[in-house]
Structure 1
Amino acid sequence: MTDAPAPVIRTAAKAVVLHDGRILLQRATWDGQECYFLPGGGQQPGESFAATVVREVHEETGLAVRVEQMLWLREYIGAHHDGDPADHRVEAIFACTPTSDPGQLGGHAHDDLQTGLEWVPQEKVPALNLLPHALREPIAALATATPEARYLGDIA
């Protein structure tokens, strides 16, 4: 009998890249649906969350960014959402500002699910199929207030 692999908690950093009232999102096809995700991805050993988000945004979008502040910490525990019980993720989500031309997009290491990149007006975010859905309202609220960093909990 083969032992099941030990569960691993995956850590990642995501970016809320804002420019001129718009947010940069990845268009994607996931589980048969068109949706949007924040750019970002997995943390490498020895890498800070801030360095992770800068690297991942550049790889996926071609955009250089400056990290302004951590906005939220999010967890996803698959067993709590009818998902894979071994799937446990922790994501640090940062507000970022472009330091290169926001009109020049095109990263060299797109996610497998990614179908494009789009600057979306912030006021349209609540109506988008942005995953996880629990991020839609907090992102839209950034247009009128600067939040304090907070733990969002285990959200799908």
Structure 2
Amino acid sequence: MTQLNPRKFRVAAYAVVIDDGKMLLSRWIGSGEKLWILPGGGIEFGEDPYDAVIREVHEETGYHVEVQRLLGMQTSVGKRVSNVDGLEYDYHRLRIIYEAKVVGGELTFEVDGSTDEAAWFPLDQVPALDHVESVDFGLELLRAAPPHGHLPSFT
């Protein structure tokens, strides 16, 4: 009998924050390698994604943001190795991506979380950064502004 891999499903809310030609990113440290990501994260039970993205951006960057609009969603299914127990999971991510702007606060770094740094990068430097694909996806959603909030597939 074939043993099935455990499954994990994660729903998270992220923000594309651009100001004066620069993009705000957080540095994720969850997998042992450091990758730049859109600021945001997991939605808590009973929490509205709109509220989650505001909370998560503040936790990771120190900034207070105002959501401008829902850009769309990204779904990704694949395997990953858990950095906690070493097991391989069938992992499904659903990312809800908003456009937001900074309305207060100051740049600070998350302590004891899944990120360790936040920074502003000129848009033309973002492609060269070690980053997760959702950064490119969020920029493409912002650029294309599909009325249904969905891009077929993105590589």
Which bracket does the TM-score occupy, shorter chain normalised? 0.7 to 0.9
Deviations 1:56-103 (A, max 9, x none): 011111110001111131112124x899443111010111000104xx
Structure 1 regions of 5+ residues with no counterpart?
none
Match of 2:95 among 91, 99, 104: 91
The 2-side partners of 1:88 and 1:72 are apart by: 17
Matched, 1:118 2:119: yes
- When normalised by structure 1's length, the TM-score is 0.75
User: For 2:47, what is the secondary structure of its paired residue?
Assistant: coil
Residue in 2 aligned with 1:147? 145
Count of aligned residue pairs for this structure pair: 147
The 1-side partners of 2:112 and 2:13 are apart by: 15
User: For 2:51, what is the secondary structure of its paired residue?
Assistant: helix
Matched, 1:106 2:108: yes
The 2-side partners of 1:74 and 1:131 are apart by: 12
Q: Which runs of 4 or more aligned residues in structure 1 lie more than 6 Å from their structure 2 counterparts after TM superposition?
A: none
Superposition RMSD on alpha carbons, in Å?
Answer: 3.3
- When normalised by structure 2's length, the TM-score is 0.75
What is the deviation of 1:7? 3.2
Structure 2 regions of 5+ residues with no counterpart?
83-87
User: For 1:45, what is the secondary structure of its paired residue?
Assistant: coil
Q: Is the 8 A contact 2:97 2:138 kept in 1?
A: no
Instruction: Evaluate the alpha carbon distance shift between residue 137 and residue 8 of structure 1 in structure 2; reply closer, same or farther with a 3 A threshold.
Output: closer
Instruction: Evaluate the alpha carbon distance shift between residue 109 and residue 56 of structure 1 in structure 2; reply closer, same or farther with a 3 A threshold.
Output: farther
